């Protein structure tokens, strides 16, 4: 049996599973909202994509296209939530590394590499090792390696949730102080524009990824009575030990929370939330394997939303603005640094190009806002 013959039934199951969860599905595609948003730069062709039409998310797609300068064609409206690469044969390590590179370059929030353990005992464990290695070398990726048998399990389950848009509330801020009239006006207008376009607007906010990472690591530390190298982060310069919880700040005692000014977010469909929760139960290793998977239930009572577009409003091209670029590159699908004149825009563009080489920031632009 050839590779195509072995891959076809797996692909059919993945397509069927996506449809059962309420997504539109397609195979061998590369053109989506993400490829358009990245100026149609090279986007790999992945085996299967689960996506929703932006209109199904109750977004004003014409207004969104006008703001970002996109063409309102069918490809533009397809927003991919999950991308799949399928290896049905006894693939080698470099082939699987290329699969992960394709998933990361494609840009969907979640990526799955499917392998077939029946072709080579140990292939599944090797795939998980490769994901860990890629993460250590190149930073966090929301990808999992799963086995063909996992797909069979998932497709035979009964899924009752839908991909309809859940009811989620806005989180509005008055700013963090020190904002001039231009900054306040830009914040106010982008807040209202995001609502008008159909987004859930969050201000001075970050996704709770690091909070979930902290919860997981704290469980491991508690199992060893806290005697791990995390204590170096609790020490003052004079060697004094702070309480583990960092004066009650939780995960911000271990990681840094650097909020972004304005977010346009979209809720995770209930069916995707249920799917991710089910997947992480398939293998106990998944809890350690992908600790930064955006969890379907936020720990702090906030709804699970995906950071579609983020905006940093900057008075000057300072180090503060540089930190905003890095944050936008790490968290958002599209990021914009908003400045008030052409000179500042050019300075920020130079910095973005530098950070693109250093951090892989390829989704952030600088925009001049003079009459907002």
Residue 353 forms part of a structural domain:
yes
Based on the structure, what is the number of domains in the chain?
A: 3
187 and 218 both lie in a single domain: no
Half-sphere exposure of 241 (CA within 13 A, CB side): 8
Q: Which residue has the tokens 């190009």?
A: 353
Task: Please write the tens of the pLDDT for every residue from 203-245.
Answer: 998 877 777 777 767 776 666 655 554 554 555 556 566 555 5
308/188 same-domain check: yes
Domain stop point among 191, 225, 252: 252
Which residue range is the domain that position 229 belongs to?
A: 212-252
pLDDT value at position 168?
63
For residues 61 and 16, membership in a common domain is answered with yes
Chain center to CA of 65: 21
Task: For residue 368, count other CB atoms closer than 10 A to its CB.
Answer: 15
Give the number of C-alpha atoms closer than 13 A to the C-alpha of residue 320, restricted to the C-beta side. 10
Same domain, 96 and 189: no
Question: Do 14 and 129 fall within a single domain?
Answer: yes
Q: Which residue has the tokens 């530098």?
A: 354
Same domain, 12 and 152: yes
138 with 190, same domain: the answer is no
Residue 249 confidence (pLDDT): 62
- Note whether residue 279 is domain-resident: no
Identify whether residues 216 and 121 lie together within a single domain: no
pLDDT of residue 296: 46
Q: What is the pLDDT of residues 178-196, one digit of tens each?
A: 678 999 999 999 999 999 9
pLDDT of amino acid 311: 96
Give residue 109's Cα distance to chain centre.
Answer: 4
Distance CA 110, CA 195 (A): 26
Annotate 99-122 with DSSP letters as a single string.
HHHHHHHH--SEEEEEE-GGGSTT
- Residue ranges for the chain with pLDDT beneath 50: 1-3, 229, 232, 246-248, 289, 291-292, 294, 296-297, 299-301
**pLDDT at residue number 291:** 43
Q: Is residue 274 part of a domain?
A: no
Q: What is the pTM of this model?
A: 0.84
Count of CB atoms situated within 10 Å of the CB of 30: 16
Distance between CA 315 and CA 80 in Å, rounded? 34
Nearest to 18 by CA among 201, 151, 171: 151
Tokens found for residue 258: 């650097």
Is 235 found in the same domain as 216? yes
For residue 242, the 8-state DSSP code is: P
Percentage helix, strand, coil, to 5, in the chain?
45, 20, 35
Reading the block at residue 198, the tokens are: 């159909």
Domain assignment of residue 227, yes or no = yes
Tell me, what's the pLDDT at 117? Answer: 86
Residue 242 and residue 99 share a domain: no
């Amino acid at each position: 049996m050839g590779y195509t013959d072995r891959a076809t039934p797996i692909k059919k199951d993945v397509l069927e599973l996506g449809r059962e969860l309420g997504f539109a599905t397609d195979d061998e595609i590369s053109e989506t909202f993400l490829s358009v948003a990245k100026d149609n730069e090279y986007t790999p062709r992945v085996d299967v994509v689960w996506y929703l039409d932006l209109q199904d998310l109750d977004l004003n797609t014409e207004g969104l296209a006008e703001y970002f300068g996109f063409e309102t064609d069918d490809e533009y409206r397809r927003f991919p939530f999950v991308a799949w690469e399928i290896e049905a044969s006894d693939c080698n390590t470099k082939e699987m590394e290329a699969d992960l590179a394709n998933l990361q370059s494609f840009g969907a929030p979640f990526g799955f590499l499917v392998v077939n353990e029946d072709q080579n005992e140990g292939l599944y464990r090797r795939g998980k090792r490769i994901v860990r290695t890629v993460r250590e070398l190149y930073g966090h990726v929301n990808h999992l390696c799963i086995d063909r048998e996992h797909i069979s399990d998932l497709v035979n389950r009964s899924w009752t949730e839908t991909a309809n848009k859940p009811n989620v509330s806005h989180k509005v801020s008055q700013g963090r102080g020190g904002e001039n009239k231009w900054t306040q006006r830009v914040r106010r207008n982008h807040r209202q524009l995001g609502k008008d376009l159909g987004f859930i607007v969050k201000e001075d906010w970050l996704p709770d990824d690091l909070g979930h990472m902290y919860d997981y690591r704290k469980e491991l530390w508690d199992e060893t009575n806290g005697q791990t190298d995390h204590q170096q982060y609790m020490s003052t310069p004079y060697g004094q030990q702070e309480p583990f919880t960092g004066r009650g700040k939780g995960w911000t005692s271990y990681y840094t929370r650097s909020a972004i000014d304005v977010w346009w977010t979209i809720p995770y469909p209930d069916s995707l939330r249920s799917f991710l929760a089910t997947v992480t139960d398939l293998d106990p290793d998944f809890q350690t394997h992908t600790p930064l998977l955006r969890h379907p239930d936020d720990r702090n009572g906030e709804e699970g939303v995906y950071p579609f577009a983020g905006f940093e409003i900057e008075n000057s091209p300072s180090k503060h603005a540089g930190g905003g670029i890095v944050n936008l590159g790490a968290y958002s699908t599209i990021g914009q640094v908003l400045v008030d004149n052409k000179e500042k825009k050019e300075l920020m563009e130079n910095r973005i190009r530098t950070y693109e080489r250093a951090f892989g920031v390829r989704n952030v632009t600088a925009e001049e806002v003079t009459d907002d």
